[in-house]
């Protein structure tokens, strides 16, 4: 198999098979991320993709799911992506779900009709590191798009029938814009139809511009308590009929089925309980141990 480190996969998807169709990230500019800093973006040659598919077919000939690598394989044009999906079908005829990560901007170069065709070829679930629905925050962290782009591109996915995930990056606006980040993210996500909303708290990793800004006083990171308060505000205003994942609680993650609205009161109560009872020093210590996103 051809794999270029780092290999990041969606932990909520089956761990295998994974197929490298791109390497690295086309954007590589988000102020909180160093994951692909040392990797030059590249597209895997078709003969390598095919060799890997042949190997996967030997090991798991009846595979029904597959994750495409790496950060944003969705950037591939329709003309490049469609043949890859056709090859997947050829080698893995039982394939039902092809998953890929992507940036909101990756959808701009595809029409609804092309997206629908990709879905018919098996690409039926994508996750977008959306992070925020607040324009100030999106600019501050150099995401390279605005809230209106999220709504516009997600409407195309809805029309094409491709399911998608959003992430809310809790804490990434710092103290000055925490409230706007929470409220606008909920407001923008509410205008879309994700199957999952995931949230995770910001960790300032060595080498990130955001950590450098924090060290010179140009970014005001939230405490664990403030992050939880921001998340609570986000959740209270979120109206997506989706699954919901968060890693904030001290005992582990809150992970729901596709019934966020039905369980919203419980989730709000759980977050309030954590705000009262969680050991914030322990949460801060745990965050400090994290090595990667």
Residues in contact with ligand SF4 by CB under 6 A are 25, 27-30, 33, 35-36, 71, 103, 129
Q: How far is the CB of 221 from ligand SF4 (least distance, A)?
A: 17
| Block residue for tokens 């962290």 | 141
Q: How far is the CB of 128 from ligand SF4 (least distance, A)?
A: 9
Distance CA 70, CA 105 (A): 16
Q: Pick between residue 28 and residue 60 the one whose CB is nearest to ligand SF4.
A: 28
Q: Is residue 52 within 8 Å of 128, Cβ to Cβ?
A: no
Q: Pick between residue 40 and residue 62 the one whose CB is nearest to ligand SF4.
A: 40
Q: How far is the CB of 177 from ligand SF4 (least distance, A)?
A: 19
Is omega for the bond preceding 233 within 30 degrees of 0, making it cis? Answer: no
Q: Pick between residue 22 and residue 246 the one whose CB is nearest to ligand SF4.
A: 22
Q: Is residue 69 within 8 Å of 22, Cβ to Cβ?
A: yes
Compute the Cα dihedral for 255, 281, 208, 4 and give only its sign.
negative
Q: Pick between residue 27 and residue 119 the one whose CB is nearest to ligand SF4.
A: 27
Q: Pick between residue 53 and residue 157 the one whose CB is nearest to ligand SF4.
A: 157
Q: What angle do CA 161, 164, 170 make, to 5 degrees?
A: 160
Q: Pick between residue 130 and residue 178 the one whose CB is nearest to ligand SF4.
A: 130
Distance CA 15, CA 10 (A): 8
Q: How far is the CB of 105 from ligand SF4 (least distance, A)?
A: 9
Distance CA 245, CA 254 (A): 6
Q: Pick between residue 22 and residue 256 the one whose CB is nearest to ligand SF4.
A: 22
Q: How far is the CB of 236 from ligand SF4 (least distance, A)?
A: 26
Q: How far is the CB of 37 from ligand SF4 (least distance, A)?
A: 8
Q: How far is the CB of 69 from ligand SF4 (least distance, A)?
A: 12
The tokens of 83 are what?
């043949």
- Among the listed residues 133, 172, 141, 139, the one whose alpha carbon sits nearest the alpha carbon of residue 31: 141
- DSSP string for residues in 134-189: -HHHHHHTT-S--HHHHHHHHHHHHHHT-EEEEEEEETTTTTTTHHHHHHHHHHHH
């Amino acid at each position: 198999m051809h794999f270029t480190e780092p290999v990041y996969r969606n932990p909520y998807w089956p761990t295998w098979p994974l197929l490298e169709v791109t390497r690295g990230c086309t954007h590589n500019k988000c102020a909180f991320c160093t994951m692909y800093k040392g990797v030059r973006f590249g597209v895997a040659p078709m003969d390598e993709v095919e060799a890997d598919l042949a190997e996967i077919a030997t090991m798991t000939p009846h595979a029904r799911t597959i994750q495409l690598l790496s950060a944003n394989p969705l950037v591939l044009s329709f003309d490049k992506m469609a043949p890859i999906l056709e090859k997947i079908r050829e080698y893995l005829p039982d394939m039902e779900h092809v998953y890929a990560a992507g940036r909101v901007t990756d959808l701009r170069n595809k029409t609804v009709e092309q997206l629908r065709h990709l879905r018919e070829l098996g690409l039926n679930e994508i996750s977008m590191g959306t992070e925020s629905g607040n324009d100030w925050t999106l600019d501050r962290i150099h995401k390279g798009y605005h809230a209106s782009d999220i709504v516009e591109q997600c409407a195309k996915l809805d029309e094409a029938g491709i399911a998608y995930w959003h992430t809310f990056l809790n804490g990434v606006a710092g103290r000055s814009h925490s409230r706007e980040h929470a409220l606008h993210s909920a407001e923008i996500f509410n205008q879309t139809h994700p199957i999952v909303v995931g949230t995770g708290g910001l960790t300032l990793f060595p080498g990130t511009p955001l950590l450098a800004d924090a060290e010179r006083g140009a970014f005001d990171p939230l405490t664990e308590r403030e992050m939880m308060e921001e998340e609570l505000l986000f959740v209270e205003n979120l109206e997506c009929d989706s699954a919901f994942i968060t890693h904030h609680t001290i005992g582990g993650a809150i992970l729901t089925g596709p019934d966020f609205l039905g369980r919203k009161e419980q989730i709000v109560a759980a977050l309030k309980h954590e705000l009262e009872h969680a050991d914030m020093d322990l949460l801060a210590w745990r965050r400090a141990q994290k090595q990667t996103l």
